[in-house]
Amino acid sequence: MGDSEFKTRFVKLGVVVYMLGLAACQNAPPGIQDNTSPKEDAGATSPEASTDPDPTADGGSDAASDAAEASDATPVPKGGNDEACSAELGWWATNAAFDSSVTPGLASAVNPMFVGEHPFTIASYVDSSLVWTARASGTRTNGSYQQYYPYDHAGEAAAMTRSTSDFSTASGSEWIVAIDASSTEVWIQVVSETTSATYGDTYCQSLTGGKLSAVIPESAGSTSIVTSEGTTTLGTLLGATTSLSPKGWTVAMTFDGQKVDVSAK
């Protein structure tokens, strides 16, 4: 091969290489273009994926926080229109006990009979004259966790004063029932009875700090009761009368209460 022919082929080869280089620059491989072109970086340009603060984001966060606080918030205090507390409700007495400083002999003998028992039940309702009324008297159970006031020991209805936190009743004639040592019901009549208690929770499902004051009439002194010491009478346990009008014995009780269904039977 002569020098002139060699030079001619060399020049042609250089032109081919040059043309291939231009093509390579104009048509970069897709993989490289994907990594360098900002148009393909959706995360940097898409509003949904942006990490920059969103002017509306704080509002949404606050709303979520408010919702969380609302779910843990204290229930709205009960009021005159609160459905739970304005419905007819009943509570049977728990932790009931005669005040030993007022009637020591009665308290010593009878309080053990009240352990685990419910010596009376309080029912609150609106009567036909739209007056809040209460009845606090001994009850029996019908076997379905429902209490009723027996006709042979019917207690009187009494006017009721209610607030958002407690209630009290006017005086009435009622009954307290005890299960004595012979497992016999002993019905203790009381007159001039008043009761008061504080609602133990927002929805009036329980009572606390209850107080009952009354007079056991002298006529009930002959009521027989069997204690751990044997058979005796209420009059013997009570001693000398302490109330003149009505004549009898002044008594006081403390109690708590738990919601219970009360039948109109």
Residues 117-171: pLDDT tens digits? 999 999 999 988 999 999 999 999 988 778 999 999 988 999 999 998 999 999 9
- Rounded CA-CA distance 260/136 in Å is 13
Contact, 258 vs 97, CB < 8 A?
Answer: no
Structure-model confidence comparison of residues 155 and 19, the more confident one:
155
Question: CA-based angle 260:264:265, to the nearest 5?
Answer: 110
Phi, psi angles (nearest 5°) of residue 152: -80, -5
Contact, 203 vs 228, CB < 8 A?
Answer: no
Cα dihedral angle (193, 194, 199, 204), rounded to 10 degrees? 60
* pLDDT at residue 86, as a whole number: 83
Note the pLDDT tens digit of each residue in 74-84.
444 444 445 66
In the structure encoding, which two tokens stand for residue 160, read together? Answer: 């009721």
Which residues, 6 or more positions from 107, have their beta carbon under 8 angstroms from its beta carbon?
Answer: 97, 98, 99, 100
Q: Read off the pLDDT of each residue in 1-19 and give the average, rounded to a whole number.
A: 49
Which residues, 6 or more positions from 256, have their beta carbon under 8 angstroms from its beta carbon?
Answer: 93, 94, 95, 197, 200, 206, 207, 208, 209, 210
Q: Read off the pLDDT of each residue in 57-67 and give the average, rounded to a whole number.
A: 43
pTM of the shown model: 0.68
- Rounded CA-CA distance 225/184 in Å is 8
Q: Does the pLDDT value for residue 56 go beyond 70?
A: no
- Rounded CA-CA distance 149/175 in Å is 10
Could you tell me the pLDDT band of residue 252, with boundaries at 50, 70 and 90?
very high
Note the pLDDT tens digit of each residue in 207-249.
999 999 999 999 999 999 999 999 999 999 999 999 999 999 9
